[in-house]
Amino acid sequence: MSIHPGTAAKRKAPENQAAAGTAKVRRRSPTRVNPALYLFPLPAVAVIAFFLVMPTLQAFQYAITDWNGFSAAFNYVGLDNFIRAFTKDSLFTNALTNNLKFVLLVVIAQTAFSLVLALLLTKNSRGSILLRALFFFPTILSSVSVAFIWKFIYDPNFGLANSVLRTVGVDGGAYLGNDAQALYWVAITQVWFHSGQMMVVYIAGLQAIPKELYEAAEMDGANKWQQFKSITWPFVAPATSIVVAYTTVQSFKAFDLILGIAGNPPKSSLDILSTRIYSTFANSEFGYAAAQSIIFMAMIALVTWLQRRLLRLTPKGE
């Protein structure tokens, strides 16, 4: 089989004319769609409709009930579950606050850090390629594995961080044990976990910038910072919008990492929306858990929309 479509088609053409004659009439026009093609997406469409779309729509129905998951009887309670979440349930508002704080921290830190790494490793030298592979590595590990590694780093008695600090004569901290700081330490873990992945997105963006632009700027006497501000940053805007959007969703859903590092259920200083929804579900408050998951979905949509409005990440020069 030829990998050059043009030549394959050309080679076929004369053969076809020669073979035409009798068969020509019966042959279906190649531009008409074969109805059998409609069967191809059917399995995927059925699976998605039945196991993804339907449950999602049902979540809205569950959300206005007080169903406990077992009994046949339940009542429609209107918006009570939503009102309860925002006004009467301090566990939920705590998880919401934690989650928004966590997202904000991780998005800012991870976007900035992965851009720095990408800027330092844009050139395709051997050293750069090796370091990219190393920095990318944590992303492939499971969240529970990463959680265990960092649990040991943060362990106040035997942990890595404090034994390093001890050798230089500094008293270490309690890290995850300190409720005021715990979320920040987990944010650092999250950035370690996924910055390499976002670095790769940025490198692709940086490598697409025409080199002539920098050469011209250099000739005009622009310094590195000016070059970054007026060439690099506007040109990597599409990459930035991918990184910000992806990091947002990723840190909203840091469910596995939190459970691995803080246990199930996590203590309140590390409780985020996804872990709270799971706890509510495990407590067999199905209706209330469904309402919480709808708030969760709305929060992701809202934050993503706000980011787009605030950052106005549209590529310049396009």
Partner 1 sequence: MLASLSRRAILAIYAVIIIIPLTVVAFGSFKSTQELFAGPFSLPHSLSPDNFAEVVGGQNLGNSFINSAIVTGISVPLTLFLASLAGYAVSRLKGFMSWAIFGFLVLGMAIPAQANMVPLYVLFGRLGLLDSLAGLILANVVSTLPIAVFILGGFMRTLPKELYEASSIDGSGPWKTYSSIALPLSAPSIAAAAIFLFVIHWNELLYPLLFIQSPGNRTLPLALLSFQGEFQTNYPLLFAGVILASLPVVVAYVFLQRYFVAGITAGASKG
253-282: which residues touch partner 1 (CB under 8 A)?
253, 255-256, 259-260, 263-264, 273-274, 277-278, 281
Tokens representing 178 are: 């300190």
Counts for the chain of helices (H) and strands (E), in that order: 16, 0
Question: Minimum CB separation from partner 1 for residue 220, in Å?
Answer: 20
Determine if 208 is a binding residue for partner 1 (CB under 8 A): no
Decide if 106 contacts 247 (C-beta within 8 A). Answer: yes
Q: How far apart are CA 226 and CA 212, in angstroms?
A: 15
Tell me the C-alpha distance between 248 and 311, whole Å. Answer: 14
Q: Does position 131 bind partner 1 by CB under 8 A? A: yes
What is the rounded distance in angstroms from the CA atom of residue 230 to the CA atom of residue 237? 12
| Ramachandran class of 102: left when φ > 0, alpha when ψ lies in -120 to 50, beta otherwise | alpha
**Which amino acid, 43?**
P
Q: In the bound complex, what is the minimum distance in angstroms from residue 233's beta carbon to partner 1?
A: 18
Among 103, 106, 115, 117, binds partner 1 (CB under 8 A): 117
1 touches partner 1 (CB under 8 A): yes
| Alpha-carbon span 63 to 77, nearest angstrom | 9
Under the binding rule (CB under 8 A), the answer on residue 93 touching partner 1 is: no
Smallest separation, CB 292 to partner 1 (Å): 9
Per CB under 8 A, does 225 bind partner 1?
A: no
The least distance separating partner 1 from the CB of residue 190, rounded to whole angstroms, comes to: 14
- The residue from 58, 124, 125, 226 that contacts partner 1 (CB under 8 A) is 58
Strands (E) in the chain, as ranges, are none
φ and ψ at 130, to 5 degrees?
-65, -45
- Contact segment (CB under 8 A) with partner 1 among 83-91, 112-120, 175-183, 207-215 equals 112-120
Candidates 75-83, 93-101, 132-140, 207-215; binding stretch for partner 1 (CB under 8 A): 132-140
One residue of 115, 176, 187, 200 binding partner 1 per CB under 8 A: 200
Query: 61 to 80, contacts with partner 1 by CB under 8 A?
Result: 62, 69
Q: Within 23-42, which residues bind partner 1 (CB under 8 A)?
A: 27-28, 30-31, 33-34, 36-38, 40-41
Supply the minimum distance, in Å, between the C-beta of residue 142 and partner 1.
Answer: 4
Could you say which residues in the range 145-174 bind partner 1, by CB under 8 A? 145, 148-153, 155, 157-158, 160, 163
217 makes contact with partner 1 (CB under 8 A): no
Residue 20 binds to partner 1 (criterion: CB under 8 A): no
Sign of CA dihedral 86, 91, 95, 98: positive
Other Cβ atoms less than 10 A from the Cβ of 242: the count is: 17
Contacts 24+ apart (CB under 8 A), 173-180: 176/151, 176/261, 176/262, 176/270, 179/267, 179/269, 180/269
